[in-house]
Each structure stands twice: as structure tokens, then as C-alpha cells.
Amino acid sequence: MSLLDVIGPVMVGPSSSHTAGACRLALLARHTLGTAPVEARFTLHGSFAKTARGHGTDLALVAGALGYAPDDSRIARAFDEAAHLGLDFGFDRADLGDVHPNSVRIDLSAVPGGAVPGGGVPGGTGALRTVRLLGSSLGGGLVKVFAVDDFRLEFSGASPTLLVRHRDTPGVLARVTRVIADDDVNVGTLYCARRRKGGEAMMSVECDRAISQAAADYLLHLSAIGWLRQIPAVMSAASDGAHIASATAEASR
Amino acid sequence: MTLADLAAATVPASEAVLIDQGLAPDELEALLSGMRGRLAEMRDAIARGLVSDAKSRTGMVGWNAKTLWEAADDLQTPLLKRVQAYAMAVNEENARMGRIVAAPTAGSAGTVPGALIGVADHLGLADDALVRPLVLAAGIGEVISQTMFIAGSTGGCQAEIGSSAAMAAAAVTELLGGDAEASVHAAAMALMNTIGLVCDPVGGYVEVPCVSRNAFFAVHAVSSAQLALAGLRSVIPPDEVVQAMASVGRMLPPELRETGEGGIADTPTGRRIALELAR
């Protein structure tokens, strides 16, 4: 935990776990999708399901899907912004199982009627058609993503994260980490999951800094790798500010 | 780093925190610049909160800071009034979905700025003098978080407001020239006298008792700094106090950990308000 996470984040109230954390999880989902969603469905678990409205969890989740950072004062009017920007959203409650009380399942879709997981993966670094992300808000604005498109992974959004869709073949991990190492980037955490032996697989690699464009291009040349995405850190105010700028630019195009 | 290590430092405690971080020069500058930004945000929230009487989302709070700030100072204790008003200003901004700095959480966001900026303004100290104390506050929070996750749902209010009060007490002590030992013991005494406090927000909203609680515990932090600056020390070593807080947190039933199902939330009026708000 960095000192600026203890005195921080700068955020819109009222709750670091139920507002700022919720916003961050949805922001991570949007970054994974890679474009502005037109549909968002949020399935709230536990304390999130019980107290969502009072803590503005609902507003914060929609705001994150819109690309707003936790300190964006537009969070308080996120529903109006969503209507204006053409984001259709809805909320459900469900028991997501043995997970942290503040957990949510986020389904984003870049196309209407596409909020069903497993809609196919584009090549390269293209935007996904849909994404399903499960995450928990741990308190103090810290979050943990624990599944992407039903692959069990783990990342926190505290540092740049490389998401890779690949085929489960011998040596993929070694090749990916070799490229990251040659880029002089340190790996913090690495999670890998597969649907079945030799089948579709996904990995999340938390890095101390984002890998270079050249390294990302090189990874995409590997035959076992179909898609990758660099998710920026969404913990520090500085990076959050960048998100606001890029989200605003995207919305105005 | 333990609190014992920190207390034994021969440099100011904030300096020891920075040394422990092991930062490169550019990282250090980024951290200090980040803290200056946090201070500016805290000031901004105080300024907004002191002049606003806009109600929170539920209507339970929103005018307390302004009302106190504009009231006559019958006790003739301007420091007390300032610290209380600043703290509530931040938490009322929080309750109306305004921008605040979580310190360490949003629900306890008023304590550190209330105590630290309140004391600084009372004494006419410039914001530059507050950056290092704020670093120390963060360092204290970080050490506590290594023992117990700082959230009302984990350890009750003692984990949130106890931590913020401990952080604020250390910061105020250093601001007023206290050495590392005094600063760490100010934190320990503040935390020791917060142990057992439950998290029982009415309706589950971060409003009642959270807004007034920040006023009380900002003052609590200043009291602790005063004791430590006079040379008083915690008999129980600071690290053991943190352990005790964590231990009590684990004993607290779920009803008293941010569920809105016990304590003040579970009074006839608290339940009635919760029902009305749920509609």
C-alpha cells in the first residue's frame, strides 16, 4: 500500500469501498473492453447489494463504465450522463458465492444486445464485443479483479496490467515473460487460467510499468497469442486524470 | 517497519517513514508533490463544506459544519470550534457526494484535515509545514493496515476513526515539534482510547453518527498530541495497542461492523429512518 493510497484517493464520497472502489472496478472493466460500452449490467453481491443506493455504488459503477475516475465530480449525476452518452444500464442482485462482501459482476457490451459473455475475441489489441469482469472492493478504495470472462485471474489496478488471450501451449508463459524481461519491466503478479488443456487461455500480468509498444507488437507476433490489452493503473490520481482526458476525448469524437 | 522502529528514530518520524520507503529521488519528489496535492484537496473540501448547507442524499446531514462555523464561540475555544467545523465540513461534503480525500477512508476523511489543518490555521502556519506531518500520518496508517485492514466492515469504527485519529495525532505532534517518540506515542494514545468503537451507521449511510464522529475524533487527536508533547507516553507499547485494536475488531459481531444492523442504527428511530430511506 503506497502512502498516497493511505492519504487518498481523492474521490467523490461517500464511501471509499462502496463508491471509489466500485467506480474503479467498472473503470477496469471499461479498459478491458477497450471502448465505450453501450450496455452495462451490474450484478451486486453482499453488502454491495444491500447498501448500493445509499453509498452511490450504483452511480459510481455507471460512472466507471463511462470512463470517469473516482474523483470525477460527474459521478453524482452519472445516470444523466449515461443517458446523454447512450449507455443503457441496469442492476441485479445475486449471490456470487464465497467472495468478499463488496463484490460485483460487471457485464459490458460494445454493441447493443451483446451483453452475453463469450462473444468472440478480436485479434490484436482490438476492442472486445463484450466483457464480463468480477471484482471486489476491499476497502480504502483498493480493489481486486478476480475473474475476466470467466477466467480466474487476479489484478488490482494498482499498476499497469497486461491482459493476454492465448492458446494453452507449452512455453507461452516463458515467451511472454521473456519479452517483458527484455523490455526491462518487472513483473509484480502473474495469473494464468485456461478453459481446458490446450484450449483458450488468459493471463494477467501486473507490471511495475507498462511494456513498450514494440514489446506488445512482438507478443502479438507469437502464434499462440491472439489478443492483448494494456490496462493502465487506476489507483493514483495522476493516472486517473489521464483516464478522464482520454474518456472525454473518446466521448466527444 | 514497526511503530517501535519508528518511535526509536533519531530523525523526525516523517523522515523515518520516508527513509523506510526507500524511494529514488524522483519517486520522493512525486510522493511529496502528491501530498501537497492531497493537502490542497483537503483545503478545498473544507472551504466548500463550511459554506454549504445543502442536504446529503438522505437529508440527515449537510448543515452541521456551517451551523457550527457561524455560531457564537460561547466556550471561547476557537481551536476546538475550528477543528470540529473543519472535520464536519469534509464529512458533509463526503455525504453529499462531493470531492474529498480518503484519510484513510472516506467515512473518516474529516479527522486528519480537521486536526492538522485546524491546528495549523489556528496557529497561522503555512501549508508547506503540513506536508511532512501528512507523510507521517500516511506512514502510521500504513503500519496499522499491516495488522488490520482499515475498514469498518472489518474492524468496526475503531479501525477507521481509530486509525485516522492516530494518524492525525502523530501529524499534529510532529507539526508542533514533537520528536519521533512523541509522535508515535500520540498515535498510540489516540488509538488506545478509541478501542471498542463500533460501526453502526443509521440505514448504512455514512452520515449518522459518522459526520459528528469526525468532529469528536479530530479533537481527540489534538488532545492526544497535547499529552504527547507534554511528555506523556503510552504505557502499552504502540505496536501492542494496534494488536489490541485488531483483536477487539475480530471479536466484534457483524451487526457492529458497518451493516447498519446494530447500535445506533438499531434504535427504534434509527430503524424507522432506515425504513423510510429504503422506500
Which of A12-16, A217-221, A248-252, B189-193 bottoms out in mean pLDDT, i.e. has the lowest?
A: A248-252
A window 22-81, beta carbon within 8 A of B: 47, 50-51, 54-56, 59, 71, 73, 75-76
Chain B residues near residue A6 by CB distance under 8 angstroms: 103-104, 137-139, 141-142, 145, 167
DSSP-assigned letter for residue B199:
B
Mean pLDDT, to the nearest integer, of B55-63? 93
Cα angle A193, A212, A245; round to 5: 95
Alpha-carbon torsion angle B172, B175, B177, B183, nearest 10:
40
- To the nearest whole Å, the CA of A14 is away from the closest chain B CA by 5
Which residues from chain B sit within 8 angstroms of residue A11, using beta carbons?
Answer: 99-102, 106
What's the confidence (pLDDT) of residue B26? 93
User: Which of B100, B136, B143 is the best residue to mutate to test the A interface, defined by the most A CB atoms within 10 Å of its own CB?
Assistant: B100
Name the one residue in this structure whose C-alpha cell is 470472462: A149
Mutation for testing the B interface, residue in A2, A5, A7, A100 having most B CBs under 10 Å: A7
Q: pLDDT at residue A101 above 90?
A: no
pLDDT value at residue A251: 34
Mean pLDDT, residues A99-104: 92
Q: Which residues of B touch A54 (CB under 8 A)?
A: 57-58, 203-205, 277
Average pLDDT over residues B200-211: 93
Q: What angle do CA A236, A242, A248 make, to 5 degrees?
A: 135
CA dist., res. A138 & res. B151, Å (int): 8
Per-residue pLDDT at A253 exceeds 50: no
Q: What pLDDT, on a 0 to 100 scale, did the predictor assign at position A252?
A: 33
Quickly list H helices, B59-179.
64-70, 78-95, 111-123, 131-147, 152-155, 157-175
Closest chain B residue to A78 measured between Cα atoms?
B97
What are the residues whose beta carbons fall under 8 Å from the beta carbon of A102, sequence distance 6 or more? A17, A18, A21, A45, A46, A47, A48, A136, A137, A138, A139, B153
Q: Is the peptide bond before A170 cis (omega within 30 degrees of 0)?
A: no
Task: Please list the residues that pair with A90 across neighbouring strands.
Answer: A41
**In this predicted structure, what is the pLDDT of residue B260?**
81
Q: Where are the domains of chain B?
A: 3-278
Interface mutation vs chain B, best among A11, A16, A240, most B CBs within 10 Å: A16
Contact B98, A73 (CB under 8 A): yes
Inter-chain touch A13–B100, beta carbons under 8 Å: yes
Residue B148 — very low, low, confident or very high, per pLDDT cuts 50/70/90? confident
Question: Any idea what DSSP says for residue A126?
Answer: P
Residues of A in contact with B107 (CB under 8 A): 14-16
C-beta atoms of A13 and B96 within 8 A:
yes
Cell of B141: 496508517
ipTM above 0.90, yes or no: yes
Q: What is the mean pLDDT of residues A164-185?
A: 96
Q: Which residue has the higher pLDDT, B79 or A240?
A: B79
Distance CA A93, CA A105 (A): 10
Instruction: Kindly report the CATH class assigned to A3-252.
Output: alpha beta
- Contact between chains at B98 and A17 (C-beta distance less than 8 A): no
- The chain-wide mean pLDDT, for chain A, equals 88
- For residue B148, the one-letter residue type is M
Share of chain A above pLDDT 90, in %: 72
CB distance from B60 to chain A under 8 Å?
A: no
Work out the average pLDDT over A152-162.
95
Flag whether pLDDT at A152 surpasses 90. yes
The arithmetic mean of pLDDT across residues A112-125, rounded, is 64
Distance CA A115, CA A129 (A): 9
Q: Please determine, for residue A116, whether its predicted confidence score (pLDDT) is greater than 60.
A: no
- The rounded distance, in Å, linking the Cα atoms of A14 and B97 is 6
Per-residue pLDDT at A235 exceeds 90: no
- Asked if A21 is an interface residue toward chain B (Cβ–Cβ < 8 A), one would say no
